[in-house]
Structure 1
C-alpha cells in the first residue's frame, strides 16, 4: 500500500472541500451584494468590513438555532433528505479538473515524496457520466424532503422539482452527447484538451449544445426563472418549508455548491477549461497556476450569470416550463446530435 498516494488523496480532498465551502459561503454574500446593486441598495454591510463577515454570522446563526421537528413528520426521511442533497453536491466536485499538473518546488517534493500535483481529485474515463449520475441522485433528497415534512406546500414543491429535474436531464444529457461526439471521449480532461486549438462554443454543434445546456442548467439547479419548486409567492419556499437551523443550511449550501459545479462544467465543456489561449506560458512552471486563474475567471462569470438572471427575468408558469423542456429543447438537442455527427464526419473527410 502506497501511503504517499493515500496521503495525497486525503490532502487534495480536504483542500477541495475547504476551497469549495468557502467559495459557497462568499457566493451567498456576492449574490446579496449583486441583488442590492440591481435594486439600488447597499446589501449586507454590518458584519465586518464591507460585510465580509456576513457568511460567518449566517453560519453561526444556523448552527445555534433550535432544531424543531414539525408534528407527524417521518423523522428518518426528514433528516436524511438534506444529507442526500449535501452529499451529492460534494461528490460532484471529485471529478472536476480545476487546472493542469502543478510542478512542486524541490524542497516540498522531498518532503511529500512526489514531484507534481494534479488539480483534480479523481479523473475517471467516464467523468461526465459520473456527474450526471450524481445529479440524478440529488432529486431523492428533494422528493424525500417534500414527502416527509407532512406539509402540502412541501409535497407540491417536491413533486414539481422531481418532474422538472427529470424533464431537463434529457436535454442536458443530449446537449453533452454532442460534445462527446465532437471530442470522442467521456473524460473531462480529454474534453478540455480537445479545445486547445478552438473552443467548442465556436463550433456550430457546440454553440447549439451550449444554448441548450445553459437553459437546462438553470432548471437543474432550481434557479430563476425555473424556481417552480420553491416559488415563494405560491409555495412559501417549497420542499424545504418545514426545515430550519442546520438542516435548512444543508439545502441552502447544496444549492450554491451545485451552481458552482455547473459553472465549472460549462467552462470545461464549452470554453476551453483551464487551458490558456494562444499557447501562453506553454512549458512554463507557471502554466498550471495561470490556467487555474483563467479557469477561475470563467467560472466566476457563469456564477455571476446565475445572479444576474435571478434579478432580471420573471418566473415561468409551470406549463411553460414543461413546454420549453419537452417541445423546444429536446428536439433541438436531438437535431444537434445529428449536426455534430455530420460535422465530425465532414471534418474527418477533409483531413483524409
Structure 2
C-alpha cells in the first residue's frame, strides 16, 4: 500500500458470501448478461494489444476481477441485495467500463494507452465504489468509503490471479485511482453561498491534489515510474467517474435525480415527507449548478478531450433546468415533499427536451 490509513476495513457479509468469481457467477446468473456482453466486446476491441501469453493472462484476470467487483456491488447496493442505492449500484460499473471507456478510446485511439493501463481503468470502474456504508472519515482527503474500497479491491486482485510482486504497478494504480475519486462536495458554512475560488482549490475530486498527498506520504514518488503512471491514471479515472456531466442531457439529469434519491435515503429522509422538500429542491437546483460549474473539473487532457465537448453542450441546458425548476415551484407554491420537487424536476426536464 502506498497510502496508509489508521482504520482497517475487513471482509463484510457480502465479501464472505461472494469470496471468488465462481460464487459471483452463480449468484449473478442472468443478471450478469450485460456485463458479459461488455467484456466480450472489450476483448474483441483490444485484440491487437494481446501479443504475449502474459497479455492474455492479464486480460483474463482483469475480466474476473470486474466480474467479482460487479457482483459484490450488485449484492451490496444493487439489484441483487436489500440495500439498494439509486446511483452507486452495479449499473455505475457498466457506465464506466462501457460507454465512457468507449468514448475515451474513440477519442485517444487504442494505442494511446498500453494494455496494463486499459486494464487498470477497467479495474477502477468495477472496484472504486465497492463500499458505501463506512462511517465518514477523511484522511489526507481520502474518504472512508474509498479507503475501504481500496482494501477490498486489493483482496479481489489477490483472488483473481494478480501478484502483489509481479503486478505491483496495478495494485498501486488501483489504490491511487480509488483514492483520487474521493469527491468533496461538502457545502460551505453558509449553505449554498460559496466562494468559487475556495471551492476550486478545496472541493471536487481529490485526484487534482493527489500529487500533494504523495509528496507528503511518499516524497520520492516522482522517481518511481509505476507511481508516476498511477498518478496519471488517477486523473483519467476521476474524469471517467464524473463524466456524467458530458452524457446526453436527459441521462445526465437522471443521474442527478438518482444521486438525490440516494442522498435522501442515506440521510434517513423519506421523499414522501415534508422534511425532504427543501433538501431535494436545493440539491436539484443550486446543488447541481454548484457541482457542474464550480466543483467539477476535468483532471486530465484525455478526459477533457473525450468529455469536454459534451459538458460544454450541457451547460446552458443545466442552467435552464435549474431556473425552470425554481420557476415551476414558484408557481405551484412551496413544495410539501421531496417527491413533489422531483415531479417538478421531471416535468421541467420534459419541457426542455421536447
TM over 0.5: no
**Greater C-alpha radius of gyration:** 1
Q: TM-score, structure 1 length as denominator? A: 0.29
Given the two structures, how large is their TM-score scaled by the length of structure 2?
Answer: 0.29
Greater RCO (Cα-Cα under 8 Å, separation 6 or more):
1
